[in-house]
Amino acid sequence: MAVTIEKVNDNYIMVSFNYSYDNVLAIKKIEGSRWNEKKKAWIVPNTNKAIYAISVAFCEEDIIFDSSIDLFDL
Protein backbone atom coordinates (compact mmCIF):
# COMPACT_ATOMS: atom_id res chain seq x y z
CA MET A 1 0.00 0.00 0.00
CA ALA A 2 1.15 3.51 -0.72
CA VAL A 3 1.64 6.30 1.75
CA THR A 4 -1.43 8.54 1.54
CA ILE A 5 -1.35 12.19 2.56
CA GLU A 6 -4.58 14.14 2.99
CA LYS A 7 -5.23 17.66 4.19
CA VAL A 8 -7.10 17.80 7.51
CA ASN A 9 -7.21 21.60 7.65
CA ASP A 10 -4.85 24.50 7.00
CA ASN A 11 -2.69 23.45 9.97
CA TYR A 12 -2.51 19.65 9.71
CA ILE A 13 -2.23 16.78 7.26
CA MET A 14 -3.06 13.12 7.81
CA VAL A 15 -0.56 10.43 6.80
CA SER A 16 -1.64 6.81 6.49
CA PHE A 17 0.20 3.65 5.47
CA ASN A 18 0.32 -0.06 6.18
CA TYR A 19 1.97 -0.78 9.50
CA SER A 20 5.63 -1.60 9.54
CA TYR A 21 8.15 -0.94 12.26
CA ASP A 22 10.34 1.07 9.87
CA ASN A 23 7.43 3.25 8.71
CA VAL A 24 6.48 4.06 12.29
CA LEU A 25 10.08 4.95 13.15
CA ALA A 26 10.24 7.21 10.08
CA ILE A 27 7.02 9.10 10.84
CA LYS A 28 7.94 9.53 14.51
CA LYS A 29 11.08 11.43 13.45
CA ILE A 30 8.95 14.12 11.81
CA GLU A 31 8.57 17.04 14.18
CA GLY A 32 5.04 17.41 15.53
CA SER A 33 3.76 14.02 14.34
CA ARG A 34 1.25 12.22 16.53
CA TRP A 35 -0.90 9.11 16.25
CA ASN A 36 -4.68 9.58 15.96
CA GLU A 37 -6.28 6.41 17.30
CA LYS A 38 -9.75 7.27 16.00
CA LYS A 39 -8.60 7.84 12.40
CA LYS A 40 -5.87 5.18 12.58
CA ALA A 41 -3.47 7.63 10.96
CA TRP A 42 -0.66 10.02 11.79
CA ILE A 43 -1.37 13.73 12.10
CA VAL A 44 1.49 15.99 11.04
CA PRO A 45 1.79 19.79 10.84
CA ASN A 46 0.92 21.11 7.38
CA THR A 47 4.27 22.77 6.75
CA ASN A 48 6.71 22.64 3.85
CA LYS A 49 9.31 21.24 6.25
CA ALA A 50 7.05 18.35 7.31
CA ILE A 51 5.92 17.56 3.76
CA TYR A 52 9.52 17.51 2.59
CA ALA A 53 10.50 15.27 5.54
CA ILE A 54 7.69 12.85 4.65
CA SER A 55 8.84 12.79 1.01
CA VAL A 56 12.40 11.98 2.08
CA ALA A 57 11.42 9.46 4.78
CA PHE A 58 9.16 7.53 2.41
CA CYS A 59 11.14 7.99 -0.83
CA GLU A 60 11.11 4.23 -1.45
CA GLU A 61 7.30 4.13 -1.24
CA ASP A 62 4.57 5.33 -3.57
CA ILE A 63 3.29 8.58 -2.07
CA ILE A 64 -0.21 9.78 -2.94
CA PHE A 65 -0.82 13.44 -2.15
CA ASP A 66 -4.33 14.87 -1.84
CA SER A 67 -4.80 17.47 -4.58
CA SER A 68 -5.51 20.14 -1.94
CA ILE A 69 -1.92 19.98 -0.66
CA ASP A 70 0.31 22.67 -2.17
CA LEU A 71 3.51 21.04 -3.38
CA PHE A 72 4.81 23.93 -5.43
CA ASP A 73 6.65 25.66 -2.58
CA LEU A 74 8.78 22.66 -1.63
Domain range for 16 is: 3-65
Q: Note if the pTM is more than 0.85.
A: yes
Asked, for residue 73, whether it belongs to a domain, the answer is no
Asked, for residue 41, whether it belongs to a domain, the answer is yes
Q: How many domains does the chain have?
A: 1
pLDDT value of residue 74? 58
Asked, for residue 74, whether it belongs to a domain, the answer is no
Asked whether the beta carbons of 10 and 70 are under 8 A apart, the reply is no
Asked, for residue 57, whether it belongs to a domain, the answer is yes
Structure letter (DSSP) for residue 44: E
Nearest partner of 53 among 2, 9, 5, judged by Cα: 5
Asked, for residue 54, whether it belongs to a domain, the answer is yes
For each of the chain's 74 residues, which pLDDT tens digit applies?
Answer: 799 999 999 999 999 999 999 999 999 999 999 999 999 999 999 999 999 999 999 999 999 999 888 777 65
Asked, for residue 44, whether it belongs to a domain, the answer is yes
Structure letter (DSSP) for residue 24: H
pLDDT value of residue 69? 85
